[in-house]
Structure 1
């Protein structure tokens, strides 16, 4: 496995860093001022998106674009270091049309959508003209086990009728959000993994109600993590994605690359926290010494560097495997990074908050926001425990296949 960056990727890294430094970082304060004043989308977002598109920094995440589809056509391994740079500012990915859940929804439509669905929804998403949402999680069941999903999608003649309640639906409050991909059950009596289907539901369809935008750790997102109710929502049967019963398969295909994106953005946030630590400990004194001269602080710096680099290497391995052997064969590595990276993220940011003291808790640094995002990642896209369970099951299965391979070197003595 070779994780070195090609000359093309090195040039793209330079371009993305320069774009961040020149156009995004100087607008962080303005973004906060406008959002807090209730102006969303912010006034400069469309200008930045147009500039990114002009510079060829557009749809960087999608490898298999057609010739007439705008984008950069990078593999997962090539895109990963760019996602890390974007992750340093929470809203930066939108500028490059690389923000979740649009990325996953575009992948779903690209892989499974009909030509009609691609024309109506994928094309404007690829052009950055609209946003979208993915409605899977439900408040009344343990949604980390997708077989529990209760939302009903029933065929009635030439239509599907959708009834159900979803929550923590990212993007549902965004003014440009025009469509949901809704996961529900079309056949509750089928095999457990063939009950679910996915259907496209326009945001303005009668019966769709955004009940509330739920704060996450008291942090309000203008995009929204919304509770949404679907009451007798009717859509044409043509809005079904792929076939009835394909919902679980589509969800698995969607989540693999998405977890690479999440984890690399998370690593970018951890890198920012470490850089801030390094700056702080060299200019701040306590008890007659610079902070870095205290052993426990120096240890925090060293541990953070080790943990970030370990996490990055594992994520790059998972990205390489998706590119070379497919998401199905990489499922253990994908589960491993999703269990590992949030813990690394919150640990590193927590150290930075401790080193900054009271300032680290305040809005004068991004650390509190970085911590909130990292903590939510322990749950988003499946809680840590689910991924650990998956890794354990695969490891035990592989262990059974290896059983006895080391028996010449390890034998249990017979009982007397």
Structure 2
């Protein structure tokens, strides 16, 4: 049997990108950000047509809310209609963000689309002389505490069965159709298409159980490339591969600051961004590693100057800095400890009695006991602790 399909989820069309829009972001860039979920879905649809897949699975949270604007719904319909023209079926469920509070049959969608209702159901069809079954359900409310997985039937007399589920593992404590991996395995399905978690991850290899993640990151906690999974089944050999759809990448960049010169800091940052040669827009949070004597650098002032510099250049650099933060190197923190405090702490902790008390369980071994009886053990442990805390600086005062 030859079978090819796409597993995607969490489109979150019309995501508001709350907390990002402010007066500093150029209007053109803001429009790119707001439209990114739409463009990502268009990328998926075009890939499906180019790849000539048999069908697409959309595993919930297709919209960011349960009431879509006409513009968003029309966009979604038109994209699905492109798939209809290419004879590509679409099977979809609704999740906790876009829960379905009307009958699936009342939805006006192209003929190639099948929407699962609020009760677990199985759709069966023939493909290349093989019988395919897909089981799933759509949320009726925002929260589902029940283990809906218990209502999924065991694999029936079909050649290939897929389970679609928008939910989370029971051990997370979420109220989203909880399940365990063993629950899924008990159903004997050939593939599980999961939604709800926005990071692509594999929960099981054989049979494959996957979260596809979302198709476009929407904030800094959804960093990196986002996309869909393409599944190829050739005579029982299942291959799962990730394909990117995101048009904007949330990312972070770390740089060292060695001087309190704002212009130099900005020049160094622009140079680093240029060297990175971003192929698509990157929304960056910059972490500046600084020394303690540079703590007087003003966060808001530096960020404002960086954004003013980028205002005319972001399109060429494919980058916008939405925030910065400062971090003091751990070694810098420790090396600044007053020497008197260090000495007092060392004298009270690295005593012969403390060493013997902590190591008493090891004293039953003669070679360890002989090592602990060495008169130099106290000094040696003190030196090693200092090296571990301060790095190579720990050796400076001992030479």
Structure 2 length-normalised TM: 0.24
Structure number having the greater helix percentage: 1
Structure 1 length-normalised TM: 0.23
Bigger Cα Rg: 2
